[in-house]
Amino acid sequence: MSKRKKRKQKKTLRRKHKGSRLVTQKQHLQQGADNHILNDWAQQLREEGRLEDAELVINPPGHDKLSDNLLELLGDYTEVAETVGEMRKLIFLASVAWNATLIPEQAREDFLESLLKDPTDDLNEFIDYLMARKLSLYPGIKRFILEYKVVDRGGGFYVSVVSTLTKYEASRQ
């Protein structure tokens, strides 16, 4: 396939997210050209010993991509991220809110306080908003977000997420 045809194919598979710099791509494109980002990251995690004996599954079939879920959770807030640093902060807050919804309510406040030092009222309201949105949009997804990565691709951001996969979910593959 010619370079021009590949570029045209990629262009048709992309959609801009309401004018933001965020670009999401269909999964089959990510499994090809973009999987190297996930594979390189997985190798780095293995080399650092952070995976221990855990099995790493990239884009498990039949499961939502949590990167897409986080971006949907943030909605229009992604439009304010102009730099990779700003997008990382948004993804961090979305991850904190996501994981907080999976923790028993009595331990949730301690969890949030351990991650958000001296939060403002506005930040607390934003976290509460994201938690309510997660529970509304994805009540059945119980996967914890362990780590995330945001890459500036020069025309948008690429977001990757490492999450848990329960034994039950893994058996459904």
What is the residue-wise DSSP string for 115-172? HSSS--HHHHHHHHHHHHHHHHH-TT--PPEEEEEEEE-SSSEEEEEEE---HHHHHT
User: Higher confidence at residue 135 or residue 38?
Assistant: 135
Q: Domain residues of the chain, as ranges?
A: 22-171
Closest among 148, 45, 5 to 87, alpha carbons compared: 148
- Does the pLDDT at position 25 exceed 50? no
- Average pLDDT (33-45) is 67
pLDDT digits (tens, 9 = 90+) for 130-165: 999 999 999 999 888 988 999 998 888 999 998 887
Task: Answer for the pair 91, 150: CB distance below 8 angstroms, yes or no.
Answer: yes
- Average pLDDT (168-173) is 58
Q: Provide the pLDDT for residue 27.
A: 35
